[in-house]
Amino acid sequence: MVTYISIADFLSLRDRLLPVLDVRSPGEYVQGHIPQAVPFPLFSNEERKIVGTLFKESGPEKAFLAGLDFAGRKMSEYVRNAASLHSHELLLYCWRGGKRSESMAWLLSQAGHTCYVLEGGYRAYRRYLHETLDKNRPVLVLGGMTGSNKTGMLLALKKSGHQVIDLEGLACHKGSAFGHINEPQQPTTEFFENLLFDQWRILDPFRPVWLEDESRSIGKVILPQQFYNNKRMAPLLVITVPLKQRVMHLVDDYTGVENDKLKDAVMRISKRLGSNRVNACLLALKNNDFFTVAEIALEYYDKAYRYAISQHNGDSVFYLSLPDTNALSGAEKIAEWYREYFQKAQ
């Protein structure tokens, strides 16, 4: 049986852990897909290209016949692969909810599966995603100079029951020139948006969400424009931590990293550091003097962040002094600040 369902119903069934099959080509899947979906391509990248070209140049009939030639010899493989998922019910989608998902759903339904096809396909999902992320919801932003352990404190807040989305965790990048070190490969911006939406949609829309103060780009990932604009307008709590504590945190964070990776990160910001500071960093790296490297890098990052804070509306910027970078005690202080802020806002 094949049933077409809405995005809301599709995601609800996916949340019940029904298998999700992305029947688009491998290249489309890699660019971005619905989280938890498995690649289940009807056509290879080359086959899709051929069918698409035939559709444009010779019409739908020849494209359809070519598609049958490609898919027909793989029908038993599709059925066996679907059986390996050990689920009677399956969710499927393609780009527009058209021929590819319809054809695959028909085949698998003949093999005994109940197939639910996403109406409008991945394109409709992406449109729904942007509409959801563009909506202005209560947000609180945690800021602070580099090395303050903002991410650790946010994760501690999350464990204590606050709504938190770790943007850097989703982006697999800590946000600075050093941010890619010890991180997995970054997702595409498209897939990052899918991951963000997946967390955003399940949060209580009437309770604030804590986010870290990020620029619009986190490494190679770009935040959605309206989402970023809404974040920029939200109240910003800036934690201030002594320089020595921040330096120690950075050194601990990058202990064990190969010097060549740190050197490469220094060279990425060499024009902004200036030749004297770059040479001092390189000499310190040669001597394994990571404290000096961190201190020099923070001279640049602190200056840049002070400027960034100056661009915020001063009435919505608040400061909280912390003695160190300890995540648990810092989260407790931030929670206390939030309770006082919330009471004043009533």
Show which residues are catalytic: 94
SS3 label, residue 318? strand
DSSP state of 188: P
Token couple for 187:
């997702």
What phi and psi, each to the nearest 5 degrees, are found at residue 321? -85, 130
Q: Tokens 């119903």 identify what position?
A: 9
Pairing of the two strands 221-222 and 217-218: antiparallel
Question: Is 144 strand, coil or helix?
Answer: strand
Q: Supply 101's token pair.
A: 């998902």
Task: Please report which residue ranges of the chain form alpha helices under DSSP H.
Answer: 7-15, 26-31, 45-58, 60-72, 75-83, 99-110, 121-134, 150-159, 167-171, 189-200, 225-232, 243-253, 259-268, 270-273, 275-286, 290-310, 327-345
Per-residue exposure over 66-79, b if at least 16 CB sit within 10 Å of its own CB, e if not: bbeebbeeeeeebb
> Which residue intervals of 73-185 are DSSP H helices?
75-83, 99-110, 121-134, 150-159, 167-171
